[in-house]
Structure 1
Amino acid sequence: MNKIVFTTKRGFYTVVTLFLMLALSSQAQDDFVKKSFATAAPLYENLLKTTEGNFKDYPHALYPDGRLKYLQIDEWTGGFWPGALWYMYEFTKDDKWRKHAEAWTNSLETNQYNTQHHDIGFMMYCSYGNAIRFNPNPKYQEILVQSAKSLCKRYSPVVGSIQSWNKRKSKGNINTWEYPVIMDNMMNLELLFYAAKVTGDTIYKHIAIKHAEQTMKNHIRADYSSYHVVNYDPQTGKVLHQQTLQGFSDNSTWARGQAWGIHGFTTTYRETKDERFLKTAIGLADFFIKHPNLPKDKIPYWDFNVGQPGYKPDWNFNPQQYQPTPRDASAAAITSSALLELSTYVKGAKAKLYRNTAIQMLKSLSTDAYLNTDQANPYFLLKHSTGNLPSNNEVNVPLIYADYYFLEALLRYQKLTAK
């Protein structure tokens, strides 16, 4: 063993001071993680009491009057609440969180057969995918594989993509979306990669890769900004429209859509090691974090191009109705989580940039401006997210998926710093 010998008091005190500074720095970094989970605990205890015995309605957000907004089992956010409870258990190791996480996860069992939309990945992998990490129950694996089978039923080899929504009118009823695919759908591919690994059946991975390739080709612009919705002709696979539903305009960049892309392509690279997907994740990330309209605290406006010249909405937008421009904490939470993983796939200055930006985002979200330390509402951890502003729906409210990805990012940060 090598020994370090200090020959002077000055040298001794200098090194001791250095060690103390490093220790205090590490402690300061961990403080925002501990603070956030400590803030979550009483809020989630309130939410558990409010939802006790009710495994049919899944907490989603708040109505403008402060009432708790629920969605049902077949809606897209059902898996985030049990997922958040699993993250609480992962951080605290307290069995009370595990008990509730298992109960809420098990309540979603029948959803494995849901083929009505693409969000089964969100619903089942955020719940059962977390559950199986702590309880390798064969039944959980069966449920996840069946969920992947259900998702694959929405895949068209002609289009080369998984259909997100059923046929519907576009925003403003300008046209009909025959086969709409949205950027959010990238988040569901992780379920397919999981199914491929545990079954050995390559069809799941094949579909996931084909979908990612089409998204890369048709959702992403030359500058790595992104379209929210691409509408295909189901008979030919031809792109009919590139539009938005929740963004400002068809040619703008909806912040959460960009976040879904960063996270989804980072996951796809992890599962495939295909450099094309890494390049795409990097491009999407660089657009997000280097955009001149990204605020100093790194929490984006709900769309990067709100009110800017050259971006005209196809809906009745009244800028005076939304002042100041609403932020989207959920987009920051998703992006911070993605950047932490992405930082491990790149080197040098790029890795440092992604890691430091993610930490900036997490520290901002951990301040009283965004963290619900004053219990402005009794249930959710993060404030100031935006769901669907063009529909005037869920503007500047807490959202369960913002909490979920924030906790995911905090745990990823903790694991990275532990290494």
Structure 2
Amino acid sequence: MILPHNLTSSSDEDYFGVESIPLTSTTCTEADNSEGKASYVPAHLLSELFAENITAKALRTAQTAIKALPDFFPEYVPQDVDHDGTYALREADFWTCGFFPGTLYTILERAIRFPQSLQLPPEINALQFREQLLTLCRIWAEPLYGMDKRTDTHDIGFIIMPALQMDWELFGNRRSLDSIAQAARSLATRYVPSARAIRSWDLLKKKDIEILDQQDNMIVIIDSMCNLDLMYYASYHMQEPALAEMATAHAETLLKSHLRPENMDSSHNSEFRYTGQWYSTCHVANIDPKSGTLKRRLTAQGYAHESNWARGQAWGILGYAQTYLSTKDHRFLEASCGLAEYFLYRLETAPACIIKGRYVPLWDFDAPIDDESNIIRDSSAGVIAANGMLIVSQALAGFNQGMLASRFRQAALVIVHDTLSFALSLEKASLVRASDGYISAEDSTPGATFEGLLKYGTANNNEQARKRYANHGLVYGDYYLVQFGNRLMRMGLV
């Protein structure tokens, strides 16, 4: 293995940093144990990831919300007792519009590549289901093609990639690849060479702060790391190296602007922990666009400017893991490892009142808990981080770092196992076939409706936010949950 010029490690183990502590629990199937550490969870215990309920809920929403296209897409499902359990829809230009079409395509991938994973009732023909689902996928993806020229958002990767990447890879649809390429070029217009970064937001307007001047301010958020995959993908497919160069420069800049070094807790004896540098993240950095100098770190969705917003940490884990896959630059793998280890540390050292669902993150790791009966979580943060940890585990296994790879793989499984146990909606759905062969879905228990898969998501609980909402299903939480199941299948773990 060729090491970066500034490293002198004689072995991969020295380079990545790992405590060689043997796994002590190989039979426990619970996500928590008495010491608050992650136990061993076999992947086959995550059967709810592949249950009929997953497919049925996605199909039902696709059929019932289709009348809102092309103007509105699913965003969140309120958990209020007086709500009917259906998706609240958001205008099509909102950053979350690509996730529901992406969920449909992820289930379609299962139907095509992993048909054994679909738990279809015997009366439903698998080929007919696949054809009906493909039709819905195409209908839901259609409005996305018209968004690839948008230069007003850095979230174009979230909008375009979940559905159109899968459409290209499953069917070789050149229209989808061309749209991905155009979207990457649109994102490139937001790159500021003097700052070596992509502008995330044009302005920031909250109750307590406003940043409106782009001449002296450049707002960059940690979420942006997960939009870089768009640029790398387009760069390599279309042979446009400048796109990848911009993405790498952006990732390098955020190593300094958004990652905050944290001291490793020597008393925290987690199995196989990563002993390199640990990091927390800030949500927002204001950078001088002329010099690239960091002016200020703050938050728009976390508890406080100095706190550790859980979903931001998760975006960092996944984003740097994906960036490593595209670049094979060890700095990015180290960053993802350090972010992941700190994420696990915060889960495992959560307040003592967090007994059930320990591995379902608090919405912000530093937010005070005023009422132990109403603890605010963010289930989406957990499943996003778990996807990143699976990628990290694969990368580490390639360096013969079996123990550290196993730690992150098992941690990902524990997070998702605990999330399914704690946050999976109890209101299930089932597939039904009409006499004419049309396949639809209905509540498994009549009148018990919740269109989301996971509960206890938190979009934004910052007290100064213009829209503050928590405790609901989130479309991206569901997308990354279904994606996690597909990653397990691609890795041969289920």
Which range, TM-score by smaller chain?
0.7 to 0.9
Asked if residue 364 in structure 1 is aligned to residue 418 in structure 2, the reply is yes
Deviates more, 1:45-54 or 1:398-407: 45-54
Q: Distance in 1 between matches of 2:43 and 2:210?
A: 49
Asked if residue 214 in structure 1 is aligned to residue 228 in structure 2, the reply is no
What is the Cα deviation at residue 235 of structure 1?
Answer: 3.1
Counterpart selection for 1:55 from 65, 69, 73: 69
Asked if residue 75 in structure 1 is aligned to residue 94 in structure 2, the reply is yes
The amino acid that maps onto 1:304 is: F
Structure 2: 5+ residue stretches without partners: 1-40, 113-129, 263-278, 429-447
Is the alpha carbon distance of 1:161 and 1:35 closer, same or farther for their aligned partners in structure 2, counting shifts above 3 Å?
closer
Deviates more, 1:92-101 or 1:405-414: 92-101
Please state whether the residue corresponding to 2:492 is helix, strand or coil. helix
Is the alpha carbon distance of 1:152 and 1:28 closer, same or farther for their aligned partners in structure 2, counting shifts above 3 Å?
closer
Asked if residue 406 in structure 1 is aligned to residue 481 in structure 2, the reply is yes
Is the alpha carbon distance of 1:237 and 1:170 closer, same or farther for their aligned partners in structure 2, counting shifts above 3 Å?
farther
Counterpart selection for 2:330 from 275, 278, 282: 275
Q: Distance in 1 between matches of 2:198 and 2:69?
A: 29
Please state whether the residue corresponding to 1:74 is helix, strand or coil. coil
Asked if the contact 2:203/2:210 (under 8 Å) is kept, the reply is no
Counterpart selection for 1:202 from 227, 238, 241: 241
Is the alpha carbon distance of 1:184 and 1:192 closer, same or farther for their aligned partners in structure 2, counting shifts above 3 Å?
same
1:38 aligns with 52
Please state whether the residue corresponding to 2:301 is helix, strand or coil. coil
What is the Cα deviation at residue 95 of structure 1?
Answer: 2.8
Asked if residue 373 in structure 1 is aligned to residue 426 in structure 2, the reply is yes
| Structure-to-structure mapping, 1:253-264, within 5 angstroms | 253-264=308-319
Q: Distance in 1 between matches of 2:491 and 2:456?
A: 27
2:23 aligns with none
What is the Cα deviation at residue 341 of structure 1?
Answer: 1.1
Cα deviation code 1:386-409 (max 9, x no counterpart): 010113633010000000001111
| Structure-to-structure mapping, 1:96-135, within 5 angstroms | 96-135=132-171
Is the alpha carbon distance of 1:279 and 1:192 closer, same or farther for their aligned partners in structure 2, counting shifts above 3 Å?
same
Question: Which of the pair has the greater relative contact order for Cα pairs under 8 Å at 6+ separation?
Answer: 2
Q: Distance in 2 between matches of 1:151 and 1:108?
A: 15
Asked if residue 388 in structure 1 is aligned to residue 460 in structure 2, the reply is yes
1:299 aligns with 360
Asked if the contact 1:362/1:410 (under 8 Å) is kept, the reply is no
1:251 aligns with 306
Is the alpha carbon distance of 1:160 and 1:171 closer, same or farther for their aligned partners in structure 2, counting shifts above 3 Å?
farther
Q: Distance in 1 between matches of 2:297 and 2:105?
A: 37
Asked if the contact 1:193/1:205 (under 8 Å) is kept, the reply is yes
Asked if the contact 1:85/1:97 (under 8 Å) is kept, the reply is yes
What is the Cα deviation at residue 170 of structure 1?
Answer: 4.9
Asked if residue 160 in structure 1 is aligned to residue 210 in structure 2, the reply is no
Cα deviation code 1:102-148 (max 9, x no counterpart): 22112211100111110000000112112111111111111110000
Deviates more, 1:103-112 or 1:64-73: 64-73
Is the alpha carbon distance of 1:379 and 1:83 closer, same or farther for their aligned partners in structure 2, counting shifts above 3 Å?
same
Cα deviation code 1:320-341 (max 9, x no counterpart): 5x95221111001101111111
Q: What TM-score, normalized by structure 2, do the two folds share?
A: 0.73
Asked if the contact 1:196/1:204 (under 8 Å) is kept, the reply is yes
The amino acid that maps onto 2:414 is: Q
Cα deviation code 1:297-348 (max 9, x no counterpart): 311100111128xxxxxxxxxx45x952211110011011111111011112
What is the Cα deviation at residue 160 of structure 1?
Answer: 1.1
Cα deviation code 1:162-198 (max 9, x no counterpart): 1111123356126657321000000000000011101
Cα deviation code 1:322-379 (max 9, x no counterpart): 9522111100110111111110111122111111111111212222x31123246431
Is the alpha carbon distance of 1:42 and 1:229 closer, same or farther for their aligned partners in structure 2, counting shifts above 3 Å?
same
Count matched residues. 381
| Structure-to-structure mapping, 1:139-178, within 5 angstroms | 139-170=175-206, 172-173=208-209, 178=217
What is the Cα deviation at residue 74 of structure 1?
Answer: 1.4
Is the alpha carbon distance of 1:176 and 1:100 closer, same or farther for their aligned partners in structure 2, counting shifts above 3 Å?
same
Deviates more, 1:45-54 or 1:29-38: 29-38
Please state whether the residue corresponding to 1:60 is helix, strand or coil. strand
| Structure-to-structure mapping, 1:329-340, within 5 angstroms | 329-340=379-390
Q: Distance in 2 between matches of 1:337 and 1:28?
A: 16
The amino acid that maps onto 1:62 is: V
Q: Distance in 1 between matches of 2:285 and 2:218?
A: 8
Sequence identity (%) = 29
1:13 aligns with none
The amino acid that maps onto 1:236 is: S
Q: Distance in 2 between matches of 1:176 and 1:241?
A: 15
The amino acid that maps onto 2:99 is: F
Q: Distance in 2 between matches of 1:111 and 1:53?
A: 19
Q: Distance in 1 between matches of 2:281 and 2:163?
A: 28
Asked if the contact 1:73/1:111 (under 8 Å) is kept, the reply is no
Counterpart selection for 1:348 from 398, 402, 408: 402
Is the alpha carbon distance of 1:171 and 1:254 closer, same or farther for their aligned partners in structure 2, counting shifts above 3 Å?
farther
Q: Distance in 1 between matches of 2:254 and 2:333?
A: 14
**Greater helix proportion:** 1
The amino acid that maps onto 1:190 is: D
The amino acid that maps onto 2:418 is: S
What is the Cα deviation at residue 34 of structure 1?
Answer: 5.0
Please state whether the residue corresponding to 2:394 is helix, strand or coil. coil
Structure 1: 5+ residue stretches without partners: 1-26, 309-318
The amino acid that maps onto 2:344 is: I
Q: What TM-score, normalized by structure 1, do the two folds share?
A: 0.86
Counterpart selection for 2:224 from 177, 185, 192: 185
The amino acid that maps onto 1:141 is: L
What is the Cα deviation at residue 233 of structure 1?
Answer: 2.2
Is the alpha carbon distance of 1:297 and 1:417 closer, same or farther for their aligned partners in structure 2, counting shifts above 3 Å?
farther
